[in-house]
Amino acid sequence: FPAENIRNFSIIAHVDHGKSTLADRLLELTGEYQFLCNSVALIQSIDVFMSPLETISPKRDNQQVLDKLTVERERGITVKAQTCSMFYKFNEKQYLLNLIDTPGHVDFNYEVSRSLAACQGTLLLVDASQGIQAQTAANFWLAFNQDLTIIPVINKIDLEAADTERVINQIENSFELDTKDICRISAKSGLNVEDILPIVIEKIPPPSGDINGLLKAFLFDSWYDTYVGVICLMAIVDGKLQKGDKIVSAHSNLKYDVADIGIMHPERFSTEYLHAGQVGYVILNMKIASEAHIGDTFYHHKHPVDPLPGFEPAKPMVFAGIFPIDANEFNRLDESITKLTLNDASVSVQKETSMALGQGWRIGFLGTLHMDVFRQRLEEEYDASVIVTQPTVPYKIVYRDGTSKFVRNPSEFPEQNEMSNNVVQLQEPMVMATIIVPNEYLGNVMDLCGAHRGEQIEYNSLDELRVMMRYALPLAEIVTDFHDELKSRSSGYASFDYEDMGYQTSDVVKKMNVLINKKPVDALAAILHRSQVATVGRDWAKKLSDVIPKQLYEVAIQTAIGGKIVARETIPAIRKNVTAKCYGGDVTRKMKLLEKQKEGKKKMKMIGKMNLIMNEIDVHLLDF
């Protein structure tokens, strides 16, 4: 397949603007094409060995084949980047179009950027009724910074609320893109979708690689498959990679045999080899998940090349403890987490032991949505029941002796006395947030940002109806319920995205402990801003007293900063009259029972303080 007949592209969009629907339509379209052209001519014209081609038959139930995972379907987001090759005939020439599906949410920018690295161009899809949203802007800048050809496409023109001309204006004003012959489509009905691929072929440059050069293969995605093990997605930049080849990782210097190679069509389809310009899957004899290093360059054994620039590793910024509800599940869960983390190079995992919750893990995520998706996948795909603790961000603590450390777990956060004796400075991570909001909700959203210690950096009208604002915000302020609040205060119309802004000094963050019968419960410790302590402290004590069932003894719940109690709730003991059933009668029996009750009480008191968290409290308690 000559490289000039190959196009590698992606679709970027704000969530729900129709990326998956469009991907389906394109696959369907190219599938249908192959039915129409007689496949004999096709097979002769391409040098991959394939049966008559069918990308997706329009008759098959193909609802969003690119979004393979259940979680994605449910949440309507694409978590894992998926790649699919399509064959398309245009101007009497056969083209190989590689569509690289990119996740669309703010937490997944890392995955978006590494998917983009395998493309030369991208379709910027915008909903005609909603216009540019925060993730549209964020994804545009990612693509722009990678020098990709960006083709704007307006979707959902079938909607009554569509205001196509206004959206085209926004695209011109904000991104300075050429909108002269912009595609106006309905991915849902398929209207005008056929106009897209010719434009992709005309505007996006083919990959520039040397088929006869030394092999240079770029690993941009990988996942774990239960049947075949680690599967890598690679873009072949130069040369040719064949089944049976021996290749070496520039990152680790480890040598591998190519066990299988092919394209995603959309399922794996073995092709014996891939050459410069092509994108496909490669199965190597990798033993463990973490060997597939995203951003790695592979070359032929004994023919080293200069590696391509890799990726900045994604920095997990939201940390939470994850514990099995049933301690016996630890090993199985450990395996599941290992498999899931291969699917997601941006997660960090560390073992952790909690007095209250037992053995578990401290897991780092890119954001809270990322965390929710991880938990949901663990539960759905691996059938695990877990407790997830309150998420925290990494704080940097600078000590009097000049050393410093990052704290990712509230239990490691210095207590009040250590704070005043040994710590000279506390720093917290900041983000630069982009918020797009209709004028009528502007006041609400500004109030919300103010309440979360936000500082307005920029204010621009996007058009006569909407405003784009930039705020510096502490990350800790947006990892809890900021998204939900923003949505509810803007009736769902505000959109939000953020990028990392480094660390800033903060002298007002405190560690709050939750004490049950005077003993701190490690898993419930939280790091809070001074202004939150009173409300959150009261709130937590109240919530806990609501969910902890009555015990045979009195349970005192306190929240405290250092030695200072913020709030207290008491759950009175159950008065169980065990002798009631005995009709007076046998005194020895009565004594025995009373003795038993006392013993039971003692035992409960001992283990109760900690274990009650595990056994008695609804697991969702820890989500608040």
Residue 548 · residue 555 · CB < 8 Å: yes
Which position among 156, 216, 275, 362 is part of the footprint of ligand GDP (CB under 6 A)?
A: 156
Q: Cβ 158 to ligand GDP, closest distance in Å? A: 5
Size of the residue set binding Mg ion (CB under 5 A): 2
Span from 10-18, 453-461, 604-612, 616-624 in contact with ligand GDP (CB under 6 A)? 10-18
Does residue 139 bind Mg ion (CB under 5 A)? no
Establish if 20 lies at the interface with Mg ion (CB under 5 A): yes
Q: Does 286 bind ligand GDP (CB under 6 A)?
A: no
Instruction: Please tell me whether residue 403 adopts helix, strand or coil conformation.
Output: coil
> What is the number of the residue whose Cβ is closest to Mg ion?
20
Distance, in Å, from the CA atom of 1 to the CA atom of 495, rounded to the nearest integer, reads 43
Q: Give residues 100-139 in contact with ligand GDP (rule: CB under 6 A).
A: 104
Residue selected from 2, 54, 149, 158 as contacting ligand GDP according to rule CB under 6 A: 158
In the complex, the smallest distance separating the C-beta of residue 222 from ligand GDP, rounded to whole angstroms, is: 22
Residue 539 CB, shortest distance to ligand GDP, in Å, is: 34
Give the whole-angstrom CA distance, residue 241 versus residue 301: 12
Contact assessment for residue 544 and residue 557, using Cβ atoms and an 8 Å cutoff: yes
Q: Per CB under 5 A, which region of 13-21, 25-33, 126-134, 598-606 contacts Mg ion?
A: 13-21
Q: Residue 188 binds which one of Mg ion, ligand GDP, none, with CB within 5 to 8 A depending on kind?
A: ligand GDP
Q: Give yes or no for a contact between 528 and 383, defined as CB atoms under 8 angstroms apart.
A: no
- The alpha-carbon radius of gyration of the chain (Å, integer) is 29
- Binding characters for ligand GDP, 572-601, by CB under 6 A (x = yes): ------------------------------
Q: Is 334 in the site for ligand GDP (CB under 6 A)?
A: no
Binding of ligand GDP at residue 19 (CB under 6 A)? Answer: yes
Which residues have C-beta within 8 Å of that of residue 203, sequence separation ≥ 6? 121, 149, 151
Report in angstroms how near the CB of residue 12 gets to ligand GDP at its nearest.
Answer: 9
Q: How far apart are CA 478 and CA 347, in angstroms?
A: 19
Q: Are strands 268-270 and 255-264 parallel, antiparallel or unpaired?
A: antiparallel
- Judged by beta carbon, residue 99 or residue 476, the one nearer ligand GDP is 99
Stretch that binds Mg ion, among 19-27, 262-270, 406-414, 552-560 (CB under 5 A): 19-27
Q: How far is the CB of 135 from ligand GDP (least distance, A)?
A: 10
Residues 170-199 that bind ligand GDP (CB under 6 A): 186-188
AA letter at 485: E
Helix H or strand E encompassing 191: none
Determine if 25 is a binding residue for ligand GDP (CB under 6 A): no
What DSSP string describes 319-344? Answer: EEEEEESSGGGHHHHHHHHHHHHHS-
User: What is the smallest separation between the CB atom of 62 and Mg ion, expressed in angstroms?
Assistant: 14
Token pair of 109, please? Answer: 């920018």
Q: CA 611 → CA 128, 524, 615, 618, distances in Å?
A: 54, 13, 6, 13
Residue 171, binding choice from Mg ion, ligand GDP, none, Cβ under 5 to 8 Å by partner class: none
Residue 108 or 224: the one with the smaller Cβ distance to ligand GDP is 108
Contacts of residue 506, Cβ cutoff 8 Å, sequence gap at least 6 = 426, 427, 428, 474, 529
Residue list 53-82, contact with ligand GDP (CB under 6 A): 76-78
Residues that contact ligand GDP, how many (by CB under 6 A): 19
Exposure string over 488-503, b if 16+ CB within 10 A, otherwise e: ebbeebbbbbbeebeb
Q: Which of 159, 325, 442, 547 binds ligand GDP (CB under 6 A)?
A: 159
Residues 6+ apart with CB under 8 A from 499: 109, 138, 431, 432
| CB nearer to Mg ion: pick between 81 and 521 | 81
The rounded distance, in Å, linking the Cα atoms of 406 and 186 is: 49
Between residues 125 and 258, which has the closer beta carbon with respect to ligand GDP?
A: 125
Contacts to Mg ion by CB under 5 A: 20, 78
Give the residues lining the site for ligand GDP (CB under 6 A).
13, 15-21, 76-78, 104, 155-156, 158-159, 186-188
